[in-house]
Amino acid sequence: MAGGHSLLLENAQQVVLVCARGERFLARDALRSLAVLEGASLVVGKDGFIKAIGPADVIQRQFSGETFEEIIDCSGKCILPGLVDAHTHPVWAGERVHEFAMKLAGATYMEIHKAGGGIHFTVERTRQASEEELFRSLQQRLQCMMRAGTTLVECKSGYGLDLETELKMLRVIERARRELDIGISATYCGAHSVPKGKTATEAADDIINNHLPKLKELGRNGEIHVDNIDVFCEKGVFDLDSTRRILQRGKDIGLQINFHGDELHPMKAAELGAELGAQAISHLEEVSDEGIVAMATARCSAILLPTTAYMLRLKQPRARKMLDEGVIVALGSDFNPNAYCFSMPMVMHLACVNMRMSMPEALAAATINAAYALGKSHTHGSLEVGKQGDLIIINSSRWEHLIYQFGGHHELIEYVIAKGKLIYKT
């Protein structure tokens, strides 16, 4: 077995595989207990993919005489899959700290929005920012996410609304994909809000007739790679008909449907997503019982965002109902100027406390199920031979400490590794 390998992680107290039989997602009874090895080691090859996982003594014998670029002694520590953040808005300019005081004084999301704040405040400043300014701020934000254990993140556009700025944002995301160590799933979200001076129908027509054909052209030329299409389906923003038109056209050009739905008002977005074959729907605070059943039947993932409900003082999504009905539940931070959270461990903690998820359910939702929501669970989201070597090592003998601990994760997470490469060490 000559030739050497990139990385040996040896003698871990626990290695949390999450899945052990090639599952692409976990739902219902499969969430009761995750696949965990005690006293185990793991090998990542030079190609960045996992080559072996097993009892420490077996791995030691199997790879005796092998050379490794790096060996990490994980005695007393736990190895987990790199975390997957399934919903973020990380490309923007202009702080909105002042809006937090407005929210604390009782202003609602839509009241701030109608007063010229919210998305429109950020749109104006993002349009003014240079591409380099946006990239530097995105780079800093993604580094903060990596330090908190995230190795795969969904990144949306959506603070441009016009074609020029949306493309500027997508170029920034593409540059980050090529230059940074974190994995990125890119989402076009030009229907994040209705631009000033347009109706929702006019905005939808512009997206369908101008934005999406340009995205298709740039994708064909290899200039920009976009994975998903998103629409904010909401009362006063894009109604069900406009949402359907945009999402269907995006699907027609090869984009996965992954959109905002049933957040502030019941819109029957879940039913629409199931009908269109959506990969995922986010928020769902106001989802109907029928929508939950439809999503479960269609294997459409629910990306729940406990930070958003917490910060906006909304009612929490009905995670327990969704889990009990067999919906594939994923988690995201919803990082944006309105919900400033980089930390998936904190998201998991809030999911357990406020949405009554168990710790195994929360970890699965932030790994294999979040990867499924992005269409990447064949390569990400669990520690299995043949999958990408994305993982974290925590300084605890029990993996649950990652969720149990509220804050201070820079001290708990000792190593973050992406595709076999050490990208963060305390």
Mean pLDDT value across residues 75-101: 96
Q: Given this model, what pLDDT does residue 101 score?
A: 87
What would the two tokens of residue 336 be?
């944006």
Strand order in the sheet with 256-261: 83-85, 150-156, 183-191, 228-233, 256-261, 280-283, 301-304, 329-331
**Bridge-partner residues for 283, per DSSP?**
261
Confidence of residue 312 (pLDDT cuts 50, 70, 90): confident
Confidence of residue 115 (pLDDT cuts 50, 70, 90): confident
Q: Average pLDDT of the chain?
A: 97
Residues 6+ apart with CB under 8 A from 101: none
Q: Given this model, what pLDDT does residue 2 score?
A: 45
Residue 371 CA to residue 350 CA, distance in Å, equals 20
Q: Given this model, what pLDDT does residue 116 score?
A: 78
Do 10 and 56 form a contact (C-beta atoms < 8 A)?
yes
Has residue 1 got a pLDDT over 60?
no
Residues 6+ apart with CB under 8 A from 340: none
Has residue 421 got a pLDDT over 50?
yes
What is the distance, to the nearest Å, from the Cα of residue 329 to the centroid of all Cα atoms in its chain? 12
Mean pLDDT value across residues 178-182: 98
Q: Which of 231, 249, 229, 364 is nearest to 304 (CA)?
A: 364
- For residue range 285-306, what is the model confidence (pLDDT) as tens digits? 999 999 999 999 999 999 999 9
Return the percentage of the chain with pLDDT > 90, whole number. Answer: 91
Has residue 318 got a pLDDT over 70?
yes
Has residue 205 got a pLDDT over 90?
yes
Q: Which of 420, 418, 391, 327 is nearest to 17 (CA)?
A: 391
Confidence of residue 3 (pLDDT cuts 50, 70, 90): low
- For residue range 207-224, what is the model confidence (pLDDT) as tens digits? 999 999 999 999 999 999
- For residue range 43-56, what is the model confidence (pLDDT) as tens digits? 999 999 999 999 99
Confidence of residue 139 (pLDDT cuts 50, 70, 90): very high
In this structure, CATH architecture of domain 5-81+383-425: Roll (2.30)
Q: If phi over 0 gives left and psi between -120 and 50 gives alpha, with beta otherwise, what is residue 311? A: alpha
Radius of gyration of the chain (CA): 21
Taking the domains of the chain in order of start, what are their residue ranges?
5-81+383-425, 83-373
Has residue 206 got a pLDDT over 60?
yes
Q: Given this model, what pLDDT does residue 190 score?
A: 99
Question: What does 336-383 look like in DSSP terms, one character per residue?
Answer: BTTB----HHHHHHHHHHHH---HHHHHHHTTHHHHHHTT-TTTSSS-
Distances (CA, A) of 325 to 27, 170, 210: 9, 36, 40
Instruction: Indicate the pairing of strand 280-283 with strand 256-261.
Output: parallel
Which superfamily is assigned to 83-373 in CATH?
Answer: Metal-dependent hydrolases (3.20.20.140)
- Rounded (5°) CA angle 32-347-109: 130
Instruction: Indicate the pairing of strand 329-331 with strand 301-304.
Output: parallel
Has residue 25 got a pLDDT over 90?
yes
- For residue range 320-377, what is the model confidence (pLDDT) as tens digits? 999 999 999 999 999 999 999 999 999 999 999 999 999 999 999 999 999 999 999 9
Instruction: Indicate the pairing of strand 413-418 with strand 391-394.
Output: antiparallel
Mean pLDDT value across residues 108-128: 88
Phi and psi angles of residue 409, each rounded to the nearest 5 degrees, phi first: -75, -15
- For residue range 261-276, what is the model confidence (pLDDT) as tens digits? 999 999 999 999 999 9
Q: Given this model, what pLDDT does residue 109 score?
A: 78
